[in-house]
Amino acid sequence: MRAQRGFTLVEIVVAFVLLSLVLVSGFEVFTTGMRRAGDLDDRAQALAVAQSRLALAGTETPLKEGQSAGQTEDGRYRWTLGITRYEEAAQQPNQPTLSAYGLFRVETVVSWTGADGRSHSISLATLELGAIL
């Protein structure tokens, strides 16, 4: 009797099962990485919108208390900008205001809907010096 060369059917089936498990795991890791990269890109874009809104506050028009809202040109990101007077007098109630300038708290909130269908938002705030009108 001659020795047979090759693999048995059981060995081939086991090899295909192992290969399919490795491929499925690899594709899952790849798609999770791509989804997270997309989420990070969305967050970076929202951060850029928030920073630009903060930078424009007080440069286009003088700082005054109030709120404004809008969206980006592509309609993907919605933003709100709130300006409130920062009350230093609350910390020192008996001190009169001696300046024509004051601090304003400028806060922007950017919201968007992610690829997963959930709502996301990011908020930034700063203090700006502006004329008291």
Kindly tell me the sign of the dihedral angle through the C-alpha atoms of 88, 85, 80, 72: negative
> Is there a domain that residue 4 lies in?
no
> Is there a domain that residue 26 lies in?
yes
> Is there a domain that residue 2 lies in?
no
Give the range of the structural domain holding residue 83, as residue numbers without chain letter: 9-131
Q: Give the rounded percent of residues in the chain with a pLDDT score beyond 70.
A: 89
> Is there a domain that residue 47 lies in?
yes
> Is there a domain that residue 60 lies in?
yes
Query: Mean pLDDT over residues 33-60, rounded?
Result: 91
DSSP 55-93: HHTTTSS---SEEEEEE-TTS-EEEEEEEEE--STTTST
Task: Please write the tens of the pLDDT for every residue from 79-130.
Answer: 999 999 987 644 555 666 577 888 999 999 999 998 888 999 999 999 998 8
What is the domain count for the chain? 1
Nearest to 131 by CA among 85, 89, 82: 85
Query: Mean pLDDT over residues 55-79, rounded?
Result: 90
Assessment of whether the complete model's pTM goes beyond 0.75: no
> Is there a domain that residue 126 lies in?
yes
Statement: residue 10 has pLDDT above 80: yes
Identify the helix (H) or strand (E) that includes residue 33.
helix 9-56
Mean of pLDDT over the chain: 87
Min mean pLDDT across 10-24, 42-56, 80-94 is at 80-94
Nearest to 56 by CA among 124, 121, 119, 133: 124
